Amino acid sequence: MFFFVCALYAEAKPLISALSLRKDAFSCPYETYFDEDSSCVLTLSGMGPVAAASATAYLLTRFGFRSDRDFLINFGSCAGAGEGLHIVNKITDSLTGRDYYPDMLYDLSSCGLPASSEKALTTVSRVVSTLADPDSLYEMEASGIFQAASRFLPPHRMLFLKYVSDSGVEDPGSITGELLTLRAEQHIPTVLAVLEKLKGACEETSSIDEDLFLSTSYALHLSETMRHELYQLFAYARASGTAIEPILTELESEGKIPTSSKREGKVVLDAIRQRLI
């Protein structure tokens, strides 16, 4: 199942249409849309990190996010240099200075999102007039979504897709709903391709070698979050047709498996990712 959080209807409108989502008729605190087979659900949060965090918590608790199969996707506009759709690989909260890192394990280059499309993003409290860092994106919801979602799911189950609507404006009113919808429409084919890619990857997760997964988890002394990450690496290997067992055997022959602590386990987990992806 795909859970979408969008700030504004103007941003979500093309996605709602493309996925044939219908509005939830029941009274609820946030405007919500879903499809007939309940494989996609979308909620409109409103602007700002607090509103976005609240809407995210509502969405995940109401519809029951499953961390072994579901994805949370934040789709929306941002300020940035140039145009295009970007994958966010780092989120900085401008108010607290804290950084957050979505951890995508899947190669989305075949969907039109190569590594060059990855960008850092800063969540700010108001629409920016200029870009403090031309290499960064600027918007108002991502840090709130990440902080709320991290209570329910691991970072590799979050995807932040941001399209550039402007390069900073003096008058926020100049960013019209029509402009946001027009920019969003341009990237819907890419978003749909991403959904198909992730859907295929999710369907493969039930075919991993459970015994090998469990023995590796114990050998690395993994925390629950790191176990989720290892599970996704196993799933990625299965989906891509890559054998993960030789990688584990190699690390064992190098004396890196088993480990004696979670800290060492995290290092080995990173090594598995680097050799696999």
- Which residue segments constitute the domains of the chain, with CATH numbers given? 2-203 (3.40.50.1580), 205-276 (no CATH)
pLDDT at position 203 is 57
Query: 207 falls in which pLDDT band (50, 70, 90)?
Result: low
Query: 241 falls in which pLDDT band (50, 70, 90)?
Result: confident
Residue 196, strand partner residues: none
The closest of 248, 257, 240, 268 to 109, measured between CA atoms, is: 240
The closest of 87, 4, 75 to 39, measured between CA atoms, is: 4
Is 89 or 226 the better-scoring residue by pLDDT?
A: 89
- Note the pTM of the prediction, 2 decimals: 0.76
Rg (CA), the chain: 19
8 A C-beta contact, residue 86 and residue 163: yes
Residue type, 26: F
pLDDT at position 239 is 66
- Region 23-51 average pLDDT: 89
Measuring CA to CA, how many Å separate 242 from each of 21, 111, 224, 276? 36, 20, 24, 8
